[in-house]
Amino acid sequence: MNVYPTLAGLTWPITRNVIMTSIGGESVSGRYVGGTYFQYPLFEFTLTYNWFEPGDIDQLLGLFLQSAGGAPFLFDAGPGDDSASNASFGAGDGSTKTFQLLRSIGGFVLPVDETFGARTAYVAGAAATATFDSPNPGYVTFGAAPANGAALTWTGSYYYKVRFKNDHLSADEFLSQLHQGNVVLRTHR
């Protein structure tokens, strides 16, 4: 799967919106009853570029064209929003070797889309032999099934699986071969 490129001219901060579609209303007793359509929130990232270098605009356009129709790709949201440290993702049962990786935001647990870089899985606090993103992205497979009740945690970096929010991409040319613009990415579930 393609990874969103690192491009010059990115301003900080990256704007992150969290989207939950809610339903609800007041009952005849006046009590509010509500819920959500989504099991997990959608995240929307707005990246503002003061400039794109000539080669950068080609990289971005190439990814956009390859992603026609909303095909997903991977995005590193950057420091503070791309890593987990001793994140809990379950407990062993003595026979299962493959687990979905999880991460937490303020106690709300989310599945991990895919990992990258240095990663370590732990069984009861001890580093364990494991293969990340196997058999599928966002999963870990241990060499031996963790013991029943053993706490499973991991440390490492993760990507968001995203798509371009819009079916169009625009960049303003403000000087010869220099462009500026915004890119809006939305998580893909």
Q: 103 exposed, middle or buried (CB, 10 Å; 0-12, 13-18, 19+)?
A: buried
- Compute the distance between CA of residue 185 and CA of residue 154 in angstroms, rounded to an integer: 27
User: Is residue 182 a part of any domain in this protein?
Assistant: yes
The pLDDT tens digits of the residues spanning 112-168 come to 999 999 999 999 999 999 999 999 999 999 999 999 999 999 999 999 999 999 888
Q: Is residue 5 included in any domain, yes or no?
A: no
The answer as to whether 172 is a domain residue is yes
pLDDT attached to residue 64: 93
Tell whether 6 is covered by a domain.
Answer: no
Give per-residue pLDDT as tens, 38-61. 888 999 999 999 988 878 888 998
Residue 43: predicted pLDDT: 95
Write down the pLDDT at residue 53: 81
Tell whether 8 is covered by a domain.
no
Position of tokens 């990256």? 14
Domain residue limits at 134: 84-157
Q: Give yes or no for a cis peptide into 79 (omega within 30° of 0).
A: no
The pLDDT tens digits for 69-86 are 789 999 999 888 899 999
pLDDT attached to residue 177: 72
Rounded CA gap, 42 and 50, in Å? 26
Q: With contact defined as beta carbons under 8 Å apart, do 103 and 113 qualify?
A: no
Q: Tens digits of per-residue pLDDT, 169-185?
A: 887 777 777 778 899 99
pLDDT, position 178: 77
Task: Give the strand pairing for 139-142 and 98-100.
Answer: antiparallel
The predicted pLDDT at position 72 comes to 95
pTM over 0.85: yes
Residue 98 has pLDDT above 80, yes or no: yes
**Do 90 and 69 share a structural domain?**
no
